[in-house]
A and B are shown apart, each in its own frame.
Chain A
Amino acid sequence: MADYNPLELMICVAARNLEDGSTVVVGTGAPCAAAMLAQKTHSPNMCVMFEAGGVAPILPSMPISVGDSRTFHRAIMASSMPEIMETCQRGMVDYTFLGGAQIDMYGNINSTMIGSDHSRPKVRFPGSGGANDLASLCWRTMMMTVQDAKRFTNDIDFITSPGYLTGGNSRYEAGLPKGTGPYRIITNMAIMGFDDETKRMKVLSVNPGYSREDVQENCGFELLWADNVTETDPPHENELKILREEVDPHRYIIGR
């Protein structure tokens, strides 16, 4: 078995979920690495978009900003933010990746603040940026994150970006587009999806080296389990080679 670190596993698993011919809006960091890896393995013609306007660049290196020159380097189009967001709203964007400080069992994400007084936050984060827009409007939202019981909690201080809200049909009833929502939560310990009926987070596979107990203990709410929970397929030699040599040779992301 190949030797790899948790970030490398998360990026490889995320990349496998991006099929050729699909569209994905990504930010900087691990999601961008996953998209680049997918392009260099099984999805050469997957269209990567950046929210400031870059469409289908040939990325020469990892962008520092989702609006910097690299995000439209030899691109198909250098467009605008409304262009990208309206493409999402029209239903033309398949995937997006989000990050955050907290996530609850319905996949709602907090990237705004910690505390109970909005006007006087205990800890202030950047806010939505484009996260709420992408979570609202792309078909499938994914998240890559290290898992612990503080981050995976139902005592979420602020819902910045919508998951399945309060479960069941509540997301659609709130007015968000039909058939959208969280799709995969990829952690260092497990890969989760969401139950079709209740929309609660549900473990699909456990990563090598971790037990079911580890996964539940490092989660602040009760997880559902798929009928046939498997072991996550670890990174393959060729995935790691491309990730390390071509996608992130300076280890900006996988070296964290």
Chain B
Amino acid sequence: MTTMLNEIDEEKAIVLKTGQNELFSNPDADLAREAFRNKSRALKPKLSTVEEVVRTMVHDGDYVTIGGFGANRIPTAILHEMVRQGKKHLGFAGHTSTHDFQILCAGECFDRLDIAYIIGLEARGLSPNARRYIESGKVKLTEWTNATLSWRIKAAAMGLSFLPARNIMGTDTFKYSAAKEILCPFTGQKYVAFPALYPDFAAIHVHECDVYGNAHLYGSSVSDQDLAKASKRVVLTTERIIPNEQIRQNPSATFIPYWCVDAVVEVPYGSYPGNMPYEYFSDEAHIKEWLKAEKDPDEFRKFIDRQIFGTKNFYEYLELNGGIEKMKKLRAAEFLIPTE
């Protein structure tokens, strides 16, 4: 893919400056159109399983993206299964990735990384294991920002190869990106041009959808509407399956339409231990346990053996960590209902 990019006559494209790091995905809009041309538009049931989705839709070397916001509305079951099935050499968009990033680092699943926010878990502190993995030099790193990755995904959702913007110029974030500076053909204003990001695979956790993949999603949506449009293969994990009639009763609420979606898996409590707005709050005790186990590599290996490799699927993982009793507590926490 890089051949195509190298052939660009920079003078003709009026490129002023170029970030020096690698671009891990091809922004070409016609290539993406070819992929989307072959994507099914059939209104057909797409129910699948976590195991099957990861086995058939994620291939070693793919570029992968995860919806939600780190430990909020994340498709945990898919992430665990990627580790369980030993997916390797993935490209990954670290777009405020926090607990999702921790899981993929535990499996050393990716080796090239577009960075906006990695390693940290916001107010909870930094992940020791993720930090070791990134500082090891095993992963190729290219810098971006949260807005930048949102706009790269938006450019793809629009069917373009780039979008101009006004951030990151003059900084090392630009220098270690793969962005370019250009001039506006109308005003002469300097802009940074961000290459479209067309992921091979995206997993998004939603509140409810029908068997065709028409989905409702509540609360902050981060970049997930664009992500569903931009990605070549999309799986929705959902808190619950709803009848198609419920979608048709309120079409203005449809957040993702079925033609973006390739597979649907019903995974109640699927964002655990993350927060699912209007459903359940994050399990801070369990996330703390992860962070603590990560301090010592041997301890962490045992922890992952128990939590991921030792569990057959996501339900066993939920049971291991408190099952329905725990979920009741997290539901109460979400709704600010005192339980003691």
B→A interface (CB under 8 Å): 21, 68-73, 94, 96, 98, 115-120, 122-124, 126, 131, 134-135, 137, 140-141, 143-148, 150-151, 154, 165-173, 176, 181, 189-192, 218-226, 275, 277-278, 281-282, 284, 334, 336
- Taking CB atoms, residues of chain B closer than 8 Å to A131 are 145
What's the Cα separation between A118 and B115 when bound, in Å?
Answer: 12
Q: Is A82 an interface residue (CB 8 A)?
A: yes
Tell yes or no: A50 within 8 A of B by CB: yes
A80 near B170 (CB under 8 angstroms)?
no
Instruction: Tell me, in angstroms, the Cα distance from A66 to B94 when the chains sit together.
Output: 16
The distance in angstroms between the C-alpha atoms of A192 and B260, with both chains bound, is 50
Considering the chains assembled together, what is the distance between the CA atoms of A161 and B135 in angstroms?
21
Greatest chain A CB density within 10 A among B218, B277, B284, B334 is at B277
Asked whether A132 lies within 8 Å of B145 as measured between CB atoms, the reply is yes
Q: Would you call B119 and A82 a contact (CB within 8 A)?
A: no
Check A53 against B220 for contact (C-beta < 8 Å).
yes
Contact (Cβ within 8 A) B148 A133: yes
Could you say which of B134, B145, B220 contacts A130, with CB atoms under 8 Å apart?
A: B145
Q: Looking at the assembled complex, report how far the CB atom of A53 sits from the nearest CB atom of chain B, in whole angstroms.
A: 3
Q: From B119, B143, B189, B284, give the contact of A128 (CB < 8 A).
A: B143
Interface centre among A120, A127, A162 (most CB of B within 10 A): A127
Contacts of A119 in B (CB 8 A): 137, 140-141
Cross-chain contact B167 with A52 (CB below 8 angstroms): no
Main secondary structure of the interface of A (DSSP, over half): loop
Chain B residues with CB under 8 A of A78:
218-221, 277
Most buried by B among A63, A67, A159, A161: A67
List, in ascending order, chain A residues with CB within 8 A of B148's CB. 133
Is residue A236 contacting chain B, with contact meaning CB distance below 8 A?
A: no
Closest to B119 in A: A126
Q: Which of A66, A112, A171 contacts B122 (CB 8 A)?
A: A66
**A80 in contact with B181 (CB, 8 Å):** no
How many residue-residue contacts, CB under 8 A, span A and B?
208
Q: Are B275 and A174 in contact (CB under 8 A)?
A: no
Query: Are B122 and A64 in contact, CB atoms less than 8 angstroms apart?
Result: yes
The verdict on A67 contacting B70 (CB below 8 Å), with A131-B145, A133-B148, A136-B167 known, is yes
* A154 adjacent to chain B (CB < 8 Å): no
Decide yes or no whether A147 CB sits under 8 A from chain B: no
Report the stretch among A1-9, A68-76, A237-245 that lies at the interface: A68-76
Q: How far is the CA of A195 from the CA of B192 in the complex (A)?
A: 28
**In whole angstroms, how far apart are the Cα atoms of A65 and B123 in the complex?**
7
B166 & A120 in contact (Cβ 8 Å cutoff): no
A-B contact pairs, 12 of them (CB 8 A): A53-B219, A53-B222, A60-B336, A64-B123, A67-B222, A126-B120, A130-B145, A132-B167, A133-B168, A136-B166, A158-B172, A175-B169
Asked if A187 CB lies within 8 Å of chain B CBs, one says: no
A-B interface, 10 closest residue pairs, ranked by CB to CB distance from nearest:
A174-B170, A53-B220, A67-B69, A175-B190, A129-B117, A133-B147, A126-B120, A85-B147, A136-B167, A175-B169
Does A210 have its Cβ within 8 Å of any Cβ on chain B? Answer: no
Report the minimum CB–CB distance from B68 to chain A (whole Å): 8
Given A27-B122, A65-B98, A85-B147, 19 further pairs, Cβ under 8 A: A62-B123, A67-B68, A68-B277, A69-B277, A72-B220, A78-B220, A80-B150, A80-B222, A80-B223, A124-B118, A124-B134, A124-B135, A127-B115, A127-B145, A129-B120, A159-B170, A162-B171, A176-B167, A176-B169
Q: A126-B126, A133-B146 are in contact. Are A69 and B172 (CB under 8 A)?
A: no
Q: Which residues of A contact B218 (CB under 8 A)?
A: 78
Name A88's closest neighbour in chain B (CB-CB).
B147
Q: Is B221 a contact of A79 with CB atoms below 8 Å? A: yes
Instruction: Report how far A79 CA is from B150 CA in the complex, Å.
Output: 13
Shortest CB-to-CB span from B284 to chain A, Å, is 7
* In the complex, residue of chain A having the shortest beta-carbon distance to the beta carbon of B219: A78
Q: Which residues of chain A from 89 to 121 have a CB within 8 Å of any chain B CB?
A: 89, 108, 112, 118-121
User: What is the distance, in angstroms, from A125's C-beta to the closest C-beta of chain B?
Assistant: 7
Contact count band on A: 35 or more
Please give the distance in Å from A35's CB to the nearest CB on chain B: 15
A28 interface residue, CB < 8 Å from B? yes
Whether a CB of chain B sits under 8 angstroms from the CB of A29 is yes
A170 CB-CB contact with B under 8 Å: yes
Q: Cβ of B134 and Cβ of A121 under 8 Å apart?
A: yes
- A168 part of interface (Cβ distance < 8 Å): no
Q: CB distance B166 to A65 under 8 Å?
A: no
Whether A128 contacts B146 in the complex (CB less than 8 A), given A79-B220, A119-B140, A136-B168, comes out as yes
Q: Quick check: A129 and B146 within 8 Å, CB to CB?
A: yes
Residues on B with beta carbons closer than 8 Å to the beta carbon of A64: 122-124, 282, 284
B185 to chain A, nearest CB (A): 15
> Please, how many angstroms separate the alpha-carbon atoms of A69 and B334 in the complex?
8
- With A160-B173, A174-B170 as known contacts, state yes or no: A124 contacts B222, CB within 8 Å: no
Indicate if the CB atoms of A81 and B277 lie closer than 8 Å: no
Take A68-B282, A69-B277 as given contacts and tell me if A51 and B135 are in contact as well, using a CB distance cutoff of 8 Å: no
CB distance from A104 to the nearest CB of B (A): 12
In the complex, chain A residues whose CB is within 8 Å of the CB of B173: 112, 127-128, 132, 159-161
**A125–B127 Cα gap in the complex (Å)?**
10
A71: chain B residues within 8 A (beta carbon): 220
Residue A234 at the chain B interface, CB threshold 8 Å = no
A193 contacts chain B at the CB level, 8 A cutoff:
no
